[in-house]
């Protein structure tokens, strides 16, 4: 089994999240993708963060038509700050030893990995799947700690989508896969702004999520 883990605030979940999950699922032949909405994320300000129960409900609605997408509510239900290393460790213990976990993450967040709790252990503990993001380049990985030297030429090819993926082996025996994903520039913050302005948001997220936001007056 190869299972992808996609965590985030999902504030709200939108078509961009589903695009990334589906692209990774198909490209790496995953068996399942687990969405893990955060409760109190340690790296994001909570000023515009919708209550966890709303974000969890919206994720459940967004993925209901995808048979291989499921949601894990442990972080959303926890009253404490949740760290990725703790969640991944728990999941690792719940699956068989033959199950491979792939931590799906945007390149912008991956570049901040050295500041995470027990970052090196987390990197060695599971496979990382790093997806391109607007505003950052794979070339920036050259100055990132925790990674072995990476070919300048290969990073250049990733940035220009001349190659469809790059797999980097780590000394621990784990690995990182870098994916230049076709852009789908949708911003959750922009969606929230449009909700406040009472403007249409339906082309950015599933109809069921739009209906939930309107019905429960989320972000208003």
Checking if the pLDDT of 54 tops 60, the result is yes
Q: Is 50 left (phi over 0), alpha (psi -120 to 50) or beta?
A: beta
Q: Residue 70 sits in a domain of what CATH number?
A: 3.40.50.620
> Higher pLDDT residue, 40 or 72?
72
In the structure encoding, which two tokens stand for residue 148, read together?
A: 């072995």
Q: Domain total for the chain? A: 1
Has residue 215 been placed in a domain?
no
Position 42 scores a pLDDT of: 56
Q: Rounded to two decimals, what is the model's pTM?
A: 0.94
Place of tokens 């959303």: 76
Has residue 193 been placed in a domain?
no
Has residue 213 been placed in a domain?
no
**Which 3 state secondary structure label does DSSP give 158?**
helix
Angle at alpha carbon of residue 183, lines to 180 and 185, rounded to 5°: 140
Has residue 26 been placed in a domain?
yes
What does the chain come to in residues? Answer: 220
What are 9-33's pLDDT values in tens digits?
999 999 999 999 999 999 999 999 9
Q: Domain range for residue 39?
A: 2-186
Q: pLDDT-derived band of residue 41, with 50, 70 and 90 as boundaries?
A: low
Q: What percent of the chain is predicted at pLDDT more than 70?
A: 97
Task: Look at strands 32-37 and 2-8 and give their pairing.
Answer: parallel
Has residue 90 been placed in a domain?
yes
Has residue 202 been placed in a domain?
no
Has residue 160 been placed in a domain?
yes
Has residue 210 been placed in a domain?
no
Q: pLDDT-derived band of residue 86, with 50, 70 and 90 as boundaries?
A: very high
Position 44 scores a pLDDT of: 54
Q: pLDDT-derived band of residue 81, with 50, 70 and 90 as boundaries?
A: confident
Mean pLDDT, residues 103-123 taken together: 96
Q: What element of type H or E holds 131?
A: strand 127-131
Strand segments, DSSP code E, in 132-209 are 166-169, 175-179
Q: pLDDT-derived band of residue 94, with 50, 70 and 90 as boundaries?
A: very high
Checking if the pLDDT of 151 tops 60, the result is yes
Position 48 scores a pLDDT of: 84
Mean pLDDT, residues 28-56 taken together: 85
């Amino acid at each position: 089994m190869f299972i992808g883990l996609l965590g985030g605030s999902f504030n709200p979940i939108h078509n961009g999240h589903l695009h990334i999950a589906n692209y990774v699922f198909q490209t790496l032949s995953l068996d399942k993708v687990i969405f893990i909405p955060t409760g109190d994320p340690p790296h994001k300000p909570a000023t515009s963060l919708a209550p966890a129960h709303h974000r969890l409900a919206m994720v459940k609605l967004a993925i209901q038509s995808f048979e291989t997408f499921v949601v894990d509510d442990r972080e959303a239900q926890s009253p404490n700050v949740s760290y990725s290393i703790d969640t991944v460790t728990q999941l690792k213990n719940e699956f068989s030893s033959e199950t491979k976990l792939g931590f799906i993450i945007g390149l912008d967040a991956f570049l901040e990995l050295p500041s995470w709790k027990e970052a090196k252990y987390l990197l060695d503990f599971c496979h990382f799947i790093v997806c391109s993001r607007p505003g950052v380049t794979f070339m920036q990985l050259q100055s990132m700690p925790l990674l072995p030297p990476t070919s300048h030429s290969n990073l250049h090819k990733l940035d220009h989508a001349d190659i469809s993926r790059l797999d980097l082996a780590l000394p621990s025996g784990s690995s990182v896969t870098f994916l230049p994903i076709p852009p789908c520039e949708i911003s959750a913050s922009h969606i929230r702004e449009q909700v406040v302005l009472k403007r249409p948001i339906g082309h950015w997220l599933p109809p069921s999520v739009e209906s939930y936001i309107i019905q429960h007056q989320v972000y208003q």
